[in-house]
Structure 1
Amino acid sequence: MILTPQNVDHLNTISHWLAVNDVNGEQELHADVAILAGHAVLPGLLGAFTRLAATEIPLLLSGGIGHSTELLKTALHAVQVNSDASSEAQLLANAAVQLSSMSSIKAEQLIIEDQSRNCGENAAFSRRLLLTRELAAQRIIVIQDPLMQRRTTETFRHEWQRQGQQADFLSWPVFVPQLGLQNDQLVIEGAASQQGLWALDRYVSMALGEVRRLRDDKEGYGPLGLGFIGHVDVPHAVEHAWQRLMAEPELAALVR
């Protein structure tokens, strides 16, 4: 797959919007709980574990067996995480304890939700588990694959509102990915390491697919479509970039 400079600019516009970040710089984290939805972007996982290890914030790991499970197993195997777990949440729990570089996350800091199979269930099952634990969470950090960050946060917000609960959700992708050139090679920048990032075709597929899901029309996840999230306004620049990229058959064919 060959991406033109204009393609790259369009993708960067899209990914910057998708990876919505409410946690700026190295500010101290303040929240009642952090919820990490299962995914396989290793620099994001490691960055979250390391920073949360220095806090007392409970970390709820959400994920059963889903689309990213095998990718997560492969990514963790590459960094010598020893685990025979099958669920994403338990794999992440093992990784959190083994890989925190500054200080290990304490096992008692972790809450495991290992039944959810998709983003909607991540939100629904996490909410129920917090109620079961009687954890009054009014300020919640949501962590996900950066390209899924906006939709995941919107899904959590929608689930809480649908159940008549109030909470402030902070979106934290850990890093914001952008495409750039290094030694004349197109690479994904923004992360602390290149290890465990998306393959380029998966990156493009996810970025374009996420915009399609966030657009509030009959094919989207908003009220005019499947109703999984509330209405999201897609900025003109993002819509323009998406339309231009989707007009190219090779790129449009990647969207699932």
Structure 2
Amino acid sequence: MLSQSDIEAFNILGEFCGQRDIPELTATSLQQNYGISQSDVFVLFGGSILYGVDVLAKAIQNKIAKKYIIVGGFGHTTATLQQTVAKQYPDIATSQMQEADIFAALLKKRFNLQVDYLETESTNCGNNITYMLDLLKNEQVNFQSIILAQDATMQKRMSACLKKYVVADVQIINFATYQNQLIIKNQKVSFAKEIPGMWAPERYMKLLMGEIPRLTDDVNGYGPRGKNYISHVNIPKKVQDAYLFLNDKYPEINRPSNNLYSS
């Protein structure tokens, strides 16, 4: 059973990884924070939980961007997504679909909306970004601002990856598809908010623990001093301490990278 201090440490990691740069997807929020009423591009990444579709629908309804894209082929979260959608929507043939296709089908079925482009070949955070950039270039979509919506556990890494490939004056705006906190309820680890498609607490904790080593800019991380997949990320001491505290107590929770989806 996790202690209250364990829960607090996990929530520190969750708050750090699940970055939102604006409080809501509205023109007012963009105007107040960035001086623009509309972003050039809005991207939903397929690694998100199902609630990402709700976030995308809200973005389209609020006309938050000029172009909308869903990015995602087959990665480490795809099988879970396929199974979850198949249970709730058996008429969607998920077994033969990539992540972007599944989210597009849900967007159409639930909200009768569609996006401008789908990218269905990428398998990991790195080529999520590079293939997306190739698509935008091929479609001659120039952008000075872009909103990224990814699963909260991977939002920080996705942003750092894009930052590696675009010029400094491109405005990257983070909007994690959810923000949630772990709590102890009826002597069980649970979530403060009920969010459709939310990971099981154990999976969520594992995903968070896997992110901090990846974001750490050392020889083992994904930053310039390591594998050079992403730009440098500053990790506050509070976050480092929370990770080290948890890793010392629960080393088995860490999620190693999966070479099956590398490129």
Give TM-score scaled by structure 2 length: 0.86
Q: Deviations over 1:87-134 (max 9, x none)?
A: 11111111111123xxx32x3x33011110111001001001001111
State, as a whole percentage, how many aligned pairs show the same letter. Answer: 25
Q: Does residue 185 in structure 1 map to residue 191 in structure 2?
A: no
1:143-162 equivalences under 5 Å are: 143-161=149-167
Q: 1:214 to 1:49 in 2, by over 3 A?
A: same
Residue 200 of structure 1: CA displacement?
1.8
Q: Does residue 95 in structure 1 map to residue 101 in structure 2?
A: no
RMSD (Å) for aligned C-alpha atoms: 1.9
1:67-86 equivalences under 5 Å are: 67-80=76-89, 82-84=91-93, 85-86=96-97
Q: Which runs of 5+ in 1 are unaligned?
A: none
Helix, strand or coil: the match of 2:198? coil
Structure 2 letter corresponding to 1:48: L
Q: 1:44 to 1:181 in 2, by over 3 A?
A: farther
Q: Runs ≥4 in structure 1, deviation > 4 angstroms?
A: none
Structure 1 letter corresponding to 2:217: D
CA separation in 2, counterparts of 1:168 and 1:217? 26
- Paired residues of 1:37 and 1:143 also in contact (CA < 8 A): yes
Q: 1:111 to 1:121 in 2, by over 3 A?
A: same
Give TM-score scaled by structure 1 length: 0.88
Q: Which runs of 5+ in 2 are unaligned?
A: 31-37, 257-263
Residue 181 of structure 1: CA displacement?
3.4
CA separation in 1, counterparts of 2:177 and 2:61? 14
- Paired residues of 1:22 and 1:171 also in contact (CA < 8 A): yes
- Paired residues of 2:18 and 2:154 also in contact (CA < 8 A): yes
Residue 81 of structure 1: CA displacement?
6.4
Q: 1:83 to 1:71 in 2, by over 3 A?
A: same
Q: Deviations over 1:150-206 (max 9, x none)?
A: 001111111224xxx85211011132121123444321234xx34311112211111
- Paired residues of 1:62 and 1:114 also in contact (CA < 8 A): yes
CA separation in 1, counterparts of 2:52 and 2:59? 11
1:93-242 equivalences under 5 Å are: 93-100=104-111, 104-105=112-113, 107=114, 109-161=115-167, 166-190=169-193, 193-242=194-243
